[in-house]
Amino acid sequence: MKRSSACRRATERTSVRALCSRCRELASFLAETPSERSVPRVPSCQRSRISMNLSSANHGRRHFLKQSVAVSAGLLLPSWVVADNVPKTAKSNTATTGDTHKVGTAIKFGKDVQETLKKINDFEATFTKKEVVGKKLVQSEMFVKFREQPFSVYIKYLNPHGGREVIYVAGKNKDKLLAHGEGITSIVGTIKLKPDSKDALEDNRHPITMFGMSKLVATLVQQWQEDEKHDDCVVKFFPNAKLDKVDCKVVETSYPKQVAHAKFHLTRLYIAKDSGLPARVEQFGFPAAGAQPPVIEEYTYSNVKTNVGFGDIDFDTENQAYGF
């Protein structure tokens, strides 16, 4: 019997070492995409120790999943997301010319949208984002559910890394977001992160607490109120623009020259004519000589359904339709 137990323990140790080795191989393969060779690897499993204390285990879980899952406008985004298979956002088409206005026109335009949004209690949509984080341009497409009160967000990634899910409800779960990966990363399970933590923001410009149409438009209104303090901001209005097949009205603000008080070279807010809701926000940086303005932020809402009537279960890991 003693010999048999010893053999079983030896076999278990061999199996665990083999699994750890396989995890390293898979993680290495995922990390070394053609577009980002410098992405940090998932830490190696320790061969010399199978057991570890609880705090070490939790740290390993967080660090492993951090490399595969991070949060934007607070959304989970992998550090190697810039790859050949990133989703393409719908093309926009504004008129070649637009009426010139004062900055106050842009502010009023934004506030009118805010009034429309006051009638929206919740919504679901396809959310596509493109944003610069550090020196990286990251893109992702996801299905989202959003509720204004209490502030609640559910995210399911579509492309890339389909299957990843995130839930955040203000005041619940110690005010932390809950997330899990897909594929091999799903073995780590659900992790908890502070929305403004270094791990959550490693690959994102904004925390998940800033998600939603209302906060997006409020940020623009605040930006334009600052622009109004200066006389070099150019404002144009395009009443008959197109975003893919969606008829839109667009307000555009820009600075012809780079100045200290200009946060962006050019900003556009697209409003769908049929709903009065934001369809896209674009923010461009100042271009280098002879180059096009670089995209800094681009957030697009499509397939929007409003006032769906979401309940608490829609933002709960116990929802049987979710993969938590």
pLDDT the model gives residue 199: 81
Residue 263 β-bridge partners: none
Average per-residue pLDDT for the chain = 78
Rounded to the nearest angstrom, the gap between the alpha carbon of residue 267 and the centroid of all alpha carbons in its chain is 19
Q: Give the 3-state secondary structure of residue 278.
A: strand
pLDDT the model gives residue 56: 41
47 and 98: one domain? Answer: no
The label of the residue with tokens 């705090």 reads: 55
* Mean pLDDT on 65-85: 36
Pairing of strands 122-133, 136-147: antiparallel
- Under the banding of pLDDT at 50, 70 and 90, the label for residue 204 is confident
Rounded Cα distance between 319 and 172, Å, is 16
Q: Give the list of residues 6+ apart from residue 273 with CB closer than 8 angstroms, or none.
A: 246, 247, 248, 249
Residue 285, token pair as written in the block: 């940086």
* Lowest mean pLDDT across 33-42, 89-98, 248-257, 294-303: 33-42
The DSSP-derived string for 24-58 is HHHHHHHH-BTTBTTPPPPPPPPSS-S---HHHHH
* Mean pLDDT on 208-222: 98
CATH number at residue 304: 2.50.20.10
pLDDT the model gives residue 202: 75
- Alpha-carbon dihedral of residues 154, 156, 159, 163, nearest 10 degrees? 160
Rounded Cα distance between 293 and 286, Å, is 6
46 and 102: one domain? Answer: no
Rounded Cα distance between 143 and 158, Å, is 7
Q: Give the list of residues 6+ apart from residue 242 with CB closer than 8 angstroms, or none.
A: 92, 93, 94, 248
Residue 58 lies in a domain: no
Number of separate domains in the chain:
2
Residue 80 lies in a domain: no
157 and 248: one domain? Answer: yes
pLDDT at 40 over 90: no
DSSP 3-state helix, strand, coil percentages of the chain (rounded to 5)? 30, 30, 40
Helices (H), 32-126: 54-68, 103-117
Element (H, E) at 73: none
Structural domain boundaries enclosing 225: 92-315
pLDDT in tens, 112-151: 999 999 999 999 999 999 999 988 998 999 999 999 999 9
175 and 259: one domain? Answer: yes
Residue 73 lies in a domain: no
pLDDT the model gives residue 220: 98
- Alpha-carbon dihedral of residues 184, 189, 190, 192, nearest 10 degrees? -90
Between the CA of residue 33 and those of 28, 30, 41, what are the distances in Å?
A: 9, 6, 11
pLDDT at 64 over 60: no
CB distance 249 to 261 below 8 Å:
no
| Count of other CB atoms within 10 angstroms of residue 141 | 20
47 and 118: one domain? Answer: no
pLDDT the model gives residue 93: 59
Residue 117 lies in a domain: yes
pTM of the model: 0.72
Between the CA of residue 234 and those of 37, 180, 268, what are the distances in Å?
A: 41, 44, 12
Residue 86 lies in a domain: no
Q: Give the 3-state secondary structure of residue 60.
A: helix
290 and 144: one domain? Answer: yes
28 and 157: one domain? Answer: no
Residue 24 lies in a domain: yes
Residue 236 lies in a domain: yes
* Burial class of 274 by CB neighbour count within 10 A (0 to 12, 13 to 18, 19+): exposed
pLDDT in tens, 235-262: 999 999 999 999 999 999 999 999 999 9
Residue 56 lies in a domain: no
139 and 244: one domain? Answer: yes
Q: Give the list of residues 6+ apart from residue 173 with CB closer than 8 angstroms, or none.
A: 192
